[in-house]
Structure 1
């Protein structure tokens, strides 16, 4: 017994020593890329199904190359094009349908979340000739299927370039900043429907369908840009806040041969969130949705005469999500996803819109639709049927039979399939394994080859003080909520530790998932090494647990989510190793709204909160997002005001830090300014910081480092 005790003491001493010898993560390392993972950037399958392309960068030399690899061997076959000589450094690429031409993006300048300006070139694969599309910065260039022409947008108008003759033709002429936009989306469509290019070539390049936005009556928004000059200036754009007027959107058809543009009458359409051509070059699918976003219609437009016919409808008592899960098969029957049975599943419809089969069924959500293999009659998808915090890749026949799980590792799996669905490259990670890329047979998921892993990063992190996420569920308000906890280094269950909770909580989101770490996770590791318990709970309204769990927050954003976080904090405080007098919470954006609300409405539970770029009233946020979940302020005033924290600043008792970027085009700094004024008038003590000209991401140069240094100091001083 004595020997065993000595061995135990020796082992305990060794563990303590080894823990003490490990380095602590630093903020400088997190935000200067020391833990960056290796990826396979911009991977695209070639049409032959045997090869794929990857965009490779050499950071040391500042060069880029587009390289072709073979699926089976993973060996590089050739460099298709590389920067140097007449080819400038490029940061993205897009093939024409026949792969004869490639658009190369250079000198990219971001506008909003997805939109970019840039100088673009067309590279001819056979001749190696390079053609500059325009001498000025343009948006969204797109090659015709045969690679002969490229369409693009400049100053809100659509143009085409004939590559052989180098002649440019202007298709629209009424585009004007602040009034008319042709071929690209306005701010709110870009942010909430997640697309910028609002035009599309048909399958034979004879037509271009495009959207036109008239935002004349959309309220004007401006924000000061402080810059580095003597005088600041105002950046102005149209931003429709909840209940205000949106742009009037219309659909138009351009005939390439005649040069004529015609209008398509879609009736009293409010939003047009998607257009997509079928295989038939004369048939365009158009999705429309009403202002409440609970009644989606998909139409077929006959491009020969612009006749419109209804193809499909999808309704919901709350709202219908807009996705890209639409694929037209060779005969123009189509695959579609819907939550109509309570979970997101795959449906197969005939060409005329009649339902042929509900392909997937069960109490779980399909999370990605990958495509249809016409040769083997298989559909490929990703789902959470192996657990809501995990992702797996599956195949299934169109009749709903012969389902097969193709991924094997527990965690998060996603797939990039070859054009003919012979192979897929699986991207895998978990909370303990950084990204791994491997080649598999699509037929059975058999592993063919490991391609890229991040073993070097894993080896590097072995020398750091890292603490695992412990996944579990917690029963709160009648629901089993997903949760993880990170315990401090050298955790002692007999000690009391402060608790810092992290969440986002927005509709359909997920923060508790078995996947590799991001910047916030590394920061949480730093805090755990300093003696803090980190907890994250996905409450009601978050995603991947079915329609009802997600949509229970309809008309009352933040109410139930706040109740869940407060209840979770109280329950966690009952644990013997949690100091119930030192409970904090933090979040960004929606999560900032949440952390603010929790500190005020849970002022007997939380002693500290940090809110970064918070919403403080949904009246200040945009139409599409807010009205999807809340309807308009006129229809639902209490839903907007009962959970807006600047309406009850007197509830503040704990320590509060609020941070915002003055150049936030998404969640305007107005949100924080109104909260600040309310707290000042309530004579409440709090801390706040404004980052000049920084947008919703609050980054650039040393900005993130400074922000997280401030947050770390605030946590250490107040929790």
Structure 2
């Protein structure tokens, strides 16, 4: 809505004339949120005590410090309130536990029939007949750092065994100096084992042996010659074959491989390949079924994270269990008897935020999908003893928790149990964070974030914008559930409008959305973040985009500094704590997963060290001298490069601290730095032309 010259304009001009150019700001306002709000917010957390498959009771507070007891009949959808526990029926039952009958194979020294035993000697294996103690040397090629594990995988009929031949990983160590130990005057030297990208890793190879002939059955390793990991080794019930999970180094190939126990023939019964990466650390799920030689397998092969039922004998995909433009966030349990999968999903309600988690179930053949939860928010559930009902608690950042009972057969609402009252918190000045959505760099994809304003927010002034940035591809980071005292609200109280955004390259959306991070961590979704803030400022001119700061920790620190290297036309100030500023310096598993292997020139091209000469803006680096998560030298190499480039910056080295440097002193220094360099204590009234774009109904 546009205004011509109006009372709003004159109010703005008056404020400009009468407001002093600066104001003293009390940092303690940020720390008084607990005092202001904590005692005014009380959620009733429903902890059910099931007394039958369809009835439970729970406690809730009552007047004058008392409590009352609520009895819930799920069949009738009725609740009754009792003043005393002793009026309630007896018969408490333990919660139901999911079926866990998937096929397993545990390595052991002794065969299932007890007739054979394996011993490790000088890195090799010996086979011993337990009846007559006759010994035979089974392997001869074991040596130091490339020998056999002492326990083996026996076939159920005890006629075959699989031994793991293992080549040890490299022995890189990182060294730290504790400058100020509490128990002595002199510094201490410490070291720890820490592989980095490109280092030699442990190599595992399964070798198949016939027990009766005491000879090896040759198994070609052509399909698994470069393992990052090789595990989940399982025999079938008839001892005809065994399978194992193979994750190739570089994380672009994942297979379940079947080996015939007689011929040694190798077949890939499950084969996933991606030109970017396979997120094995967060999206790998395999449930092997005992009686049917099947596996429930998780894959992004169709562009979304879904479940498949695969025949382990033929490798045939029998059914795609889940499908659609939404993602399986995780499997809760597999019901073998009823051939169902219970899981939680994101984006399954197309009209809701795609990051909201919902509870679902579906048959192995893909039929009978039931989305059990419905409310517009993110959900967490507990199941009744017979799985007929769920206790569903859901909320949003701008909506306090609601607790319901729902039927799992059809997702229908049985009863609403509790709705949290936040009117007392609102009366004390609490403001809800605002959910905000804008388009990504492609002009089509929705980017989701949250805006936090000071509780004394003045719609007639402009505020510096502070982004809390973390863009690790392993997850998504914008809060979705309710908090009466959000952590970022404490920063808003300092005089910022604070934003939190999930740009492209983070998880829980489509594979294409995620793939933006592939060999491209420097991107960090920054182009999407800028567009999001520009869209927010178009709607809310109180966001002053001439004063944008960013703070981040660990991988977030890498991205925060990168913002001042590649996007310093937009970002002006950055605080970067314990950053992995060069992906060659950080832990091997995280960086090879997203940046790939072998180590290519893109590692150096994206390094904050290599590009330190591009720095513009105000940068505060923080590092703990005892950080064992990220090598502190990663920060020191940035310092060296900045000095060589004659760049000004600020730095805090924290003695005695590791990856978490947030002492009260460090928190104060971060606040001071951002407030000073973003000019947070100066009042910037909206100018006349900006009032023309303000719709008072849109301003909180």
**TM-score, normalization by structure 1:** 0.66
Equivalences for residues 637-648 of structure 1 within 5 A: 637=601, 639-648=602-611
Does 1:659 find its partner at 2:622?
Answer: yes
State the 1:362 CA deviation.
1.4
- Report the CA distance shift for 1:503/1:710 in structure 2 as closer, same or farther (over 3 A): same
Partner of 2:288: 328
Query: Which residue among 327, 331, 343 is the counterpart of 1:381?
Result: 343
Distance in structure 2 (CA, Å) of the matches to 1:565 and 1:527: 19
Give the Cα–Cα distance (whole angstroms) in 1 for the partners of residues 531 and 159 of structure 2.
60
Kindly indicate whether residue 27 of structure 2 is the aligned counterpart of residue 26 of structure 1: no
Q: Structure 1, residues 554-581: CA drift from partner, whole Å, max 9, x if none? A: 2222236233334444555555222233
Q: Name the structure 1 match of 2:652.
A: 689
2:192 aligned with 1:237, yes or no? yes
Separation of aligned partners in 1, 2:364 and 2:176: 52
Quickly say closer, same or farther: Cα 1:49–1:596, change in 2 above 3 A: farther
What is the Cα deviation at residue 503 of structure 1?
2.1
CA deviation after TM superposition for structure 1 residue 74, in Å: 12
Q: Secondary structure at the match of 1:496?
A: strand
Residue matched to 1:522: 486
1:683 shift after superposition: 3.4
CA contact (8 A) 1:275 1:284 kept: no
Q: 1:710 to 1:503 in 2, by over 3 A?
A: same
Please give the alpha-carbon distance, in whole angstroms, between the structure 2 residues aligned to 1:220 and 1:248: 19
Q: Which residue of 2 aligns with 1:271?
A: 228
Instruction: Assess if the C-alpha contact under 8 Å between 2:107 and 2:154 holds in 1.
Output: no
| Counterpart Cα distance in 2 of 1:50 and 1:244 | 57
Q: Give the Cα–Cα distance (whole angstroms) in 2 for the partners of residues 183 and 465 of structure 1.
A: 63
Hey, what does 1:339 align to over in structure 2?
300
Pair 298,715 (structure 1): closer, same or farther in 2 beyond 3 Å:
same
Whole-Å Cα distance in 2 between the matches of residues 210 and 661 of structure 1? 43
Distance (whole Å) between structure 2 residues aligned to residue 459 and residue 262 of structure 1: 74
| Paired positions, count | 564
Instruction: Name the structure 2 match of 1:395.
Output: 361
Cα 1:237–1:526 change in 2 (3 A) is: closer
Q: Secondary structure at the match of 1:600?
A: helix
Residue 344 of structure 2 contacts residue 360 of structure 2 at CA under 8 Å; is this kept in 1? yes
Deviation at residue 356 of structure 1 after TM alignment: 0.7
State the shift of 1:274 in Å.
Answer: 4.3
After superposition, what is the alpha-carbon deviation per residue over 1:382-439, rounded to whole angstroms, capped at 9, x for unaligned?
Answer: 2222231312112223332332210122211244557864454545342145667766
**Cα distance change, pair 583–354 in 1 and its aligned pair in 2 (3 A):** same
2:190 matches 1:228:
no
Residue 710 (structure 1) aligns with: 669
- The equivalent of 1:493 in structure 2 is 459
State the alpha-carbon separation in 2 of the partners of residues 666 and 254 from structure 1: 41
Distance, in Å, in 2 between the alignment partners of 1:436 and 1:482 is 23
Report if aligned partners of 1:219, 1:245 keep a CA contact under 8 Å in 2. Answer: no
Return 397-406 or 264-273, whichever deviates more: 264-273
> Aligned-pair distance for 1:39?
8.2
**Could you tell me how far apart the structure 1 residues matched to 2:286 and 2:369 are?**
20
| Deviations, residues 436-484 of structure 1 (Å, cap 9, x unaligned) | 7766543234566889x8959x688557543322222222422432222
Mapped pair 1:297 → 2:258 = no
Q: Distance in 2 between matches of 1:633 and 1:492?
A: 53
Q: Deviations over 1:676-696 (max 9, x none)?
A: 222233333322223334333
Match of 2:567 in 1: 602
8 Å contact kept, 2:394–2:402? yes
Distance 2:541 2:242 in 1: 62
| Structure-2 change in CA distance of 1:335 and 1:79 (3 Å) | closer
Matched, 1:313 2:258: no
Equivalent residue runs for 1:169-180 within 5 Å: none
Q: TM-score, normalised by structure 2?
A: 0.67
Mapped contact 1:431–1:514 kept (Cα < 8 A): yes
Partner of 2:323: 361
- Structure 1 residue matching 2:574: 3-state secondary structure: strand
Distance 2:156 2:54 in 1: 23
Higher mean displacement: 490-499 or 71-80: 71-80
Match of 1:347, SS state, is strand
Gaps of 5+ in 1: 1-22, 53-69, 81-93, 99-139, 147-156, 158-177, 185-197
Summarize deviations over 1:3-58 as a string: whole Å, max 9, x none.
xxxxxxxxxxxxxxxxxxxx95518959xx999999899x9x9xx99999xxxxxx
For 1:572-583, what aligned pairs fall within 5 Å after superposition?
572=536, 575-583=540-548
Instruction: Give secondary structure in 2 for the equivalent of 1:407.
Output: coil
Classify 1:595/1:71 alpha carbon distance in 2 versus 1 (closer, same or farther; 3 Å). Answer: farther
Higher RCO by CA contacts (8 Å cutoff, separation 6 or greater): 2
User: CA separation in 1, counterparts of 2:487 and 2:674?
Assistant: 12
CA offset at residue 672 of structure 1? 0.9
CA distance in 1, matches of 2:609, 2:427: 46
Say which one has the larger Rg: 2
**Is contact 2:604-2:610 (8 Å) kept?**
yes
Cα deviation 1:657-688 (Å, max 9, x = unaligned):
22222222222111111112222333333222
Alignment of 1:131-142 (within 5 A): none
Aligned counterparts of 1:573 and 1:96: Cα–Cα separation in 2 = 52
Label 1:204 to 1:74 Cα distance change in 2 as closer, same or farther (>3 A). Answer: farther
Write the distance in 1 (CA, Å) between the matches of 2:563 and 2:665. Answer: 25
Q: Secondary structure of the residue that 1:483 maps to in structure 2? A: strand
Of 442, 446, 466, which residue of structure 2 is paired with 1:480? 446
Report whether the alignment pairs 1:219 with 2:172: yes
Q: Counterpart in 2 of 1:561?
A: 525
**How far apart are 1:209 and its partner, in Å?**
8.8
Quote how far apart the aligned CAs of 1:321 are.
1.9
List per-residue Cα deviations over 1:622-666 (Å, max 9, x = no partner): 3332223223464x20x2223222223333332222222222222
1:247 aligned onto 2:207: no
SS of alignment partner, residue 646 of structure 1: coil
